[in-house]
Amino acid sequence: MIVFDRRFPIVITPTYLSRSGSIGGGSDLLPLQVNGPASGYAALVHYRTVQEYLVALTVPILATPRFFATLTAAPQWDVALTGIQTTNHAQIFELAYLEFRATKHVTLFVQPSRLVNDLPTDQTPQYIPTFIYGVDYRITPWSFAQVAFSTGTPSNRSTLGIQALTVQAPGVTAPTLGGLKASQVQFQIGLGSPSVIPL
């Protein structure tokens, strides 16, 4: 029998997200072909530098001694347009989370989601249905190990990867980019509790 508590916690999480990167050990500022080779227009764009605001609303939908589940939705938008982006209205990030406490030490989890990836190289945001899953192992009450797997591909970008390379000037070649398939394996060992799986 499942007994629900009268309390119904709702978590609101205002978030500022800042990402940066380097390519080849330098900056991430590189040429990018805009609107295909016929346009003849290339822009210097920070490939991986972006700042975003989001406000997440999380509600629990299941809580038992063995299972715990939540749903999260969050509007997110760029702090500023820093590349070839053409829109800056809120995009809706969606996430479900389900964990199963198999033993006192082992917790299995799955996290299907619809991530929004809005990099400066994208004229419009990419919507990435993503499946994250893994296992937490509680070594002691104060330490843990976790392994997590994730994979996803944009649903609104039909062609993945580099679609074309265009020579803009001697020694300057600019790629035209499509969607990005992202897969990763993450392993953590630490004190306290595992961090939230990266979104």
Q: Which of 120, 93, 42, 64 is nearest to 198 (CA)?
A: 93
What's the confidence (pLDDT) of residue 1? 40
Cβ-based burial of 41 (10 A; exposed 0-12, middle 13-18, buried ≥19): middle
Domain ranges of the chain: 11-22+29-191
pLDDT score at 67: 94
Spatial contact of 41 and 92, defined as CB atoms under 8 Å apart: no
Q: pLDDT value at position 3?
A: 46
Whole-model pTM: value is: 0.70
CA 122 from chain center: how many Å?
Answer: 15
Q: Does 2.60.40 match the CATH number of domain 11-22+29-191?
A: no
Share of the chain above pLDDT 90, in %: 26
Q: Tell me, what's the pLDDT at 38?
A: 59
pLDDT reported for residue 2: 46
Nearest Cα residue to 111 out of 89, 96, 92? 96
pLDDT < 70 positions in the chain: 1-8, 35-42, 155-169, 174, 176-180, 195-199
DSSP 64: -
The reported pLDDT for the residue numbered 106 is 95
pLDDT of residue 66: 94
